[in-house]
């Protein structure tokens, strides 16, 4: 009789243990995604050939002070998806100077770009390549800007990246809405630095600064 009475309690205890275990696992997963590592899907071709449309990456949310060449997930200024919000009408597409300022409002959307300029850097853009403090980026990952008809490849006038902000550009220079059109990104808008890609399987690997 004693043995028979204990069986239901054992089943109930096992069920409670399973529920608690699942709850803890889900809680830890949400905690990791919220504060440590978060997956993102690449929505456009602006980072080709490095990242393809639909490719998935992992982002370190603890790393919000990127290095030159890092691939970064961030919030752009409000209006960036409409083509640009550069505060000066003499800057941006079709003008000699790339944007060196943005609007102070942070958008809710997320972008994925590469850091091409650090705070205080002096930048020029020629044929789609960034000249940082007079030195051209190595650019082994860059897709030609000239290959896209009508693309803005040249912004010869020097700009200076403001303190506490980062200049972002897509690797697909002829098909990327980036800091050229809406300005540098404040550090506080940076979500994190991409450190790995996990899908598709054929492209699994870790990133390093270019």
Q: Which two tokens stand for residue 15?
A: 């069920």
In sequence order, the β-bridge partners of residue 59 are 38, 194
Catalytic residue among 7, 9, 108, 113: 113
46 is catalytic: yes
Which is higher by pLDDT, 154 or 90?
154
Catalytic residue among 3, 7, 46, 157: 46
Residue with tokens 């456009």: 44
The pLDDT of residue 19 is 64
7 is catalytic: no
At the topology level, CATH places domain 39-206 in Umud Fragment, subunit A (2.10.109)
Average pLDDT, the chain: 84
For the segment 144-175, what is each residue's pLDDT rounded down to a tens digit? 887 777 778 899 899 999 999 999 999 999 99
- Report d(CA 145, CA 53) in Å as an integer: 18
Q: Where are the domains of the chain?
A: 1-35, 39-206
Q: Among 84-93, 118-127, 194-203, whose mean pLDDT is lowest?
A: 84-93
Which is higher by pLDDT, 150 or 1?
150
The pLDDT of residue 97 is 84
Asked whether the whole model's pTM tops 0.85, one would answer no
The pLDDT of residue 22 is 56
């Amino acid at each position: 009789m004693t043995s028979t009475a204990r069986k239901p309690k054992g089943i109930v205890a096992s069920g409670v243990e399973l529920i608690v275990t699942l709850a803890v696992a889900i809680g830890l997963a949400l905690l990791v995604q919220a504060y440590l590592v978060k997956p993102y899907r690449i929505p456009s071709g602006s980072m080709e050939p490095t990242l393809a449309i639909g490719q998935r990456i992992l982002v370190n949310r603890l790393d919000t002070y990127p290095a030159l060449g890092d691939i970064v997930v961030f919030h752009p200024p409000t209006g960036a998806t409409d083509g640009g919000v550069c505060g000066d009408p003499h800057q941006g597409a079709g003008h000699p100077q790339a944007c060196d300022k943005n609007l102070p409002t942070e958008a809710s959307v997320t972008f994925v770009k590469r850091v091409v300029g650090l705070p205080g850097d002096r930048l020029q853009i020629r044929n789609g390549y960034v000249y940082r403090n007079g030195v051209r980026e190595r650019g082994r990952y860059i897709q030609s800007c000239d290959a896209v008809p009508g693309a803005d490849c040249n912004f010869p006038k020097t700009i200076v990246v403001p303190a506490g902000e980062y200049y972002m550009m897509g690797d697909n220079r002829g098909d990327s809405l980036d800091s050229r059109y809406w300005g540098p990104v404040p550090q506080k808008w940076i979500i994190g630095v991409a450190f790995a890609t996990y899908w598709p399987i054929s492209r699994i690997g870790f990133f390093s600064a270019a």
